[in-house]
Chains A and B, each alone.
Chain A
Amino acid sequence: MQGPLIDTLARQGITRRTFLKYCATLASMMALPPAAGRAMAEAMAAARRPSVIWLPFQECTGCTESITRSHSPTLEGMIFDMISLDYQETLMAAAGHQAEEARHAAMKDNAGKYLLVVDGSIPLGLDGAYSCIGGRSNVDILKEAAEGAAAIVAMGSCASFGGIPKANPNPTGAVSVSDIIKDKPIVNIPGCPPIPVVMTGVLAHYLTFGSLPELDEKGRPKAFFGETIHDRCYRRPFYDQGKFAKTFDDEGARQGWCLFELGCKGPVTYNACATVKWNGGTSWPVESGHGCLGCSEPDFWDAGGFYKALSVPADPLKIAAAAAVAGAVAGVAVSFANRAKKNTAKQTHEPITVDDLEK
């Protein structure tokens, strides 16, 4: 299974056109120009499988579940098969010394070239004794594996920002990958769990262009984390019209109105749930009638209560822009009109956090 990717795909009954179509859509989702879809298909079809080492630290295995159960069998899942996953404790058949040997062999054979995926936070308390694998602390293993990595992908909120293990009072002294590793490119894919296609997109970008995609100031791929849940929410027009559900069983809730007053963190949460959705595009939290928890933002667990409303309007500039669009224009129109104002807004706008907005 060391041939070009397209041969491996062909063996699984995936035609070249299916792959081209997939790449075109992926490029579109990543906000790359249309020509990039073709470039991506060509580069990926010819690419050899990169070695990937996946290290699980203080985690719940939810990130692995999210990726491996991504509405299989989709191409997301298959692309994931196309990497040479040389170490993944949950999925690998090997155990004990055999498993540790596999990791060392992969690190040695692919020194400087492998991708390191990390899920879970790293405890620093008691010299890292809170989480050990094979008698070694997580922080030790991370430092060793990071040394030969071409790049590191921090999968999920724990690896990206510390996540739930870091929640007050943080008994284990949990920190994120970027708190420890300073000399390697790190891409954060936060979310609890993260969206599978973001992982695929980052991988496709790496295979195609040999580099990580453009990242925001929190190390997240801009293509997927460029806009808030609120900006892309299909319930946004109700927010603009001032129509809010006040309880989870009132008329507003039945009408599918905005969940802002029920504590939705959509306005301060950057993620792609509103567009990519979950379970193979079936639905997502807001569509199911529950506000966004903000699970892809740092310290979401300690942000003051999932059902407590944010206290100030999400973004006054955006409301002004929405008002400029006359009458009962539907959601898409409103959010797109907002986009035009967005650059100006971005330049003048101080970033707001959940803390600033809590009542």
Chain B
Amino acid sequence: MSLDAIPIHVINPPPGEPGLTGNAPPLLRELSELVKRLLASGETSAIDLSALPLTPADLDWLRERLGEGEINVTLQANGESTLNETACSGIWWVTHHNEQGAVTSQFIEVAFVPELVKAHPQDVQIGQEYLELLISDL
């Protein structure tokens, strides 16, 4: 039996264009402060976008204003994550997806390099051991 035979039409998400709340513009000021802090002290920071009252339209507005930078990083770890540089160098748009492709969390990170991209010394150590193993097999 095809699903079309079931006379229930799920409407999800609800109709109507989500509007701008005006909550996005202040974030630009906050980002400016965070970038100043990064330059002054090297201190990195992040804004948790899912914790803020932003509609999809707000996020689009913000994303569009911040623009596209030169670097797009894709991370495959329990679903895809994208860490994209914006036109403002030092500001990264970070989106985590789960294995089903749904967005699990979204951040704007202010850093020279996003935290997740850096290799951890312990992992580098493991890589080095593997390298030694390769060399010993030569």
Contact = CB atoms under 8 A, between A and B. Distances in A.
Interface of A: 6, 14-18, 20-22, 24-25, 27-29, 31, 33-35, 38, 75, 234-235, 237-238, 253-256, 280-281, 287, 289, 327-333, 336-337, 339-340
A17 B116 contact: yes
A62 to B, nearest CB: 25
Contact of B50 (A28, A330, A331): A28
A237 B17 CA distance: 12
Contacts of B19: 327, 329-330, 333
B16 to A, nearest CB: 4
29 contacts: A15-B77, A16-B120, A16-B122, A17-B77, A17-B116, A20-B116, A21-B96, A21-B116, A25-B96, A28-B48, A28-B50, A28-B51, A28-B105, A35-B45, A234-B14, A237-B14, A238-B14, A254-B7, A256-B11, A281-B102, A287-B12, A329-B16, A329-B19, A330-B16, A330-B18, A330-B19, A331-B14, A333-B18, A337-B53
A22 to B, nearest CB: 7
A254 B77 contact: no
B16 A336 contact: no
A162 B66 CA distance: 52
A289 B7 CA distance: 13
Contact of A330 (B13, B105, B109, B116): B13
B55 A24 contact: no
A33 B14 CA distance: 30
B44 to A, nearest CB: 9
Contacts of A35: 45-46
A20 B56 CA distance: 26
Interface residues of B, number: 42
A29 B96 CA distance: 13
Given A34-B46, A333-B21, A333-B55, A237 B115 contact: no
A18 to B, nearest CB: 4
B105 A234 contact: no
A21 B95 CA distance: 10
A34 B110 CA distance: 11
Interface of B: 7-19, 21, 23, 45-48, 50-51, 53-56, 75, 77-78, 81, 96, 98, 100, 102, 104-105, 107, 109, 115-116, 120, 122-123
A340 B128 CA distance: 52
User: Which 10 A-B pairs rank lowest in CB-CB distance, beginning with the nearest?
Assistant: A336-B53, A34-B46, A18-B77, A328-B16, A330-B18, A25-B105, A28-B105, A256-B11, A25-B104, A18-B78
B78 A332 contact: no
B51 A330 contact: no
Given A329-B16, A336-B55, A21 B48 contact: no
Contacts of A238: 14
B78 A22 contact: yes
B121 to A, nearest CB: 11
Contact of B123 (A16, A33, A337): A16
A254 B48 contact: no
Contacts of B11: 255-256
| Chain B CB within 10 A, most for which of A20, A327, A330 | A330
A14 B77 CA distance: 8
Contacts of B13: 234, 330-331
A41 to B, nearest CB: 9
Nearest to A255: B11
Given A28-B51, A329-B18, A337-B53, A17 B105 contact: no
A72 B31 CA distance: 38
A331 B12 CA distance: 11
Nearest to A20: B116
Nearest to A29: B105
Nearest to A339: B53
A21 B14 contact: no
Contacts of B12: 234, 256, 287
B18 A24 contact: no
